[in-house]
Structure 1
């Protein structure tokens, strides 16, 4: 005899309510559906389960025996399903997160603290990445997601929402003429070599390290660096200047460097990337936590 779990639920509800209308309302079905399910069970068993009159519904002795036999088993099934659903909602295992700059790291660390308090069974591992080829470890599968400068637009990677933005600045040698100015413009880049990052997509280079100014003037190229400290060393040595975000001055202040704000450059956008095959509940939950953390920091003035 094949009886579906829903039909057992209908039988047990009717055995408790002893009213077709109330049972239907409780289970969000029609009274006809309740009646159909009971008749199907009675045909399969070969005996009446309920005595029905115009005034009442009562269990038959066989119906009462079936109720007693099914109730405990049904509760076990419901408990097992609830436990499985709870386990499915719990985030466990390891989450490996990379970040491309100190200010990204500050946000990731704060978000990780909140995430751990919500999901204590999930272990978080944080990694500071080199500027060159920051998505390599995502593709290798050794990181689950990375917070870094946009734009990165690759078919095998998922681009999350922008988490925060930062105004741009130009890092120059402390004795450079620009260091004495309150601000610089994109046109000023034509007057000094530009130090860029190696191993980045061409569209990334075109935005952050353009070859021409808005008026079309050629921007001379200086040497390129693979790591942020290498770029700072090249700038300090007078090999050129390099764009960054204004907050870099708070993290990388040096007597031989100066950070000059741009007056006309668009802000730098920062967001998460993860593998298209790694769109897991843990990844999505951490991204949402990071967004909450960024909003809270912006509100409190900590960003």
Structure 2
């Protein structure tokens, strides 16, 4: 892990600063841990180690609240600036390396069909001869993280995503939402269902840390009360395993019903659910001409007229 050195006895890792900044922004250790993809005890341990290195407490902790100390308040702008500077430097380094190797790193959600990604890659190669695309599946719970942190230059994602306000995007298409049902489910005798038919169901859900993405796939704003959660998952295998076992139901895109064919799992159109938007996303206000050409290839592949 890269480290910043402040002198002979102060040696602070970037991970420690990221933990500090997340807790300082949320003023909540559990929420910060979810955002970081860590456990709450791991974040607490990292903060305690940082406080030990600095020789001063950074937070006042109680059962009711978390509050920054004077030392924490003074560290906040320093940590923000240092992490931003490092992330900018790392992003520039990756851009230089990409230019040298002529490889564009792109994230994609597992529900994106190969026919679309193949068409995008072919269009990009026409626009940028000699370049290739390295596709990487993104994390279900925090799919935009790679773009926000600079490890990916762009991504094909299902909206909404955590951190979307820090991204630019182009919507490529809108897909109907379906519900996945197990063998023997009471709704299998219907060709389509409505959200009201699902209000008493138990759902297979994304982790709480996925925020707006989890809420969208639970249609949480349409039931008038929090949906019942049977299980939380962060990958397709666990999602379908829970459906097959009859633990709950789950919503997914129309394209996913073609990508994922599993015994014991049946799909029905949710007739009144808002469509899912597939978008290409990139760093806000980004001016990278390579990324711009990739976006153009995405738009042409999504609407090949």
TM-score interval, normalised by the smaller of the two chains: 0.5 to 0.7
Unaligned runs of 5+ in 2: 1-98
Report the counterpart of residue 109 of structure 2 in structure 1.
100
Report the counterpart of residue 295 of structure 1 in structure 2.
303
Unaligned runs of 5+ in 1: 1-90
1:220 aligns with 2:224: no
Q: Greater CA deviation, 91-100 or 245-254?
A: 91-100
Q: Which runs of 4+ in 1 moved over 6 A?
A: none
Q: Greater CA deviation, 277-286 or 143-152?
A: 277-286
Please give the per-residue CA displacement for 1:2-49, whole angstroms capped at 9, x wherever unaligned: xxxxxxxxxxxxxxxxxxxxxxxxxxxxxxxxxxxxxxxxxxxxxxxx
Report the counterpart of residue 191 of structure 2 in structure 1.
182
Report the counterpart of residue 249 of structure 1 in structure 2.
257
Q: 1:137 to 1:159 in 2, by over 3 A?
A: same
TM-score by length of 2: 0.62
Alignment of 1:1-303 (within 5 A): 93-152=102-161, 154=163, 157-198=166-207, 200-211=209-220, 213-214=222-223, 216=224, 218-276=226-284, 278-296=286-304
The number of residue pairs the alignment matches comes to 206
Equivalents in 2 of 1:158, 1:178: separation in Å? 39
TM-score by length of 1: 0.62
| Cα RMSD, aligned residues only | 2.2
Report the counterpart of residue 69 of structure 1 in structure 2.
none
Maintained 8 Å contact 1:132/1:197: yes
Maintained 8 Å contact 2:172/2:302: yes
Equivalents in 2 of 1:131, 1:257: separation in Å? 20
- Give secondary structure in 2 for the equivalent of 1:247: helix
Q: Which has the larger radius of gyration?
A: 1
Please give the per-residue CA displacement for 1:66-103, whole angstroms capped at 9, x wherever unaligned: xxxxxxxxxxxxxxxxxxxxxxxxx8722111110243
Maintained 8 Å contact 1:213/1:219: no
Equivalents in 2 of 1:100, 1:199: separation in Å? 18
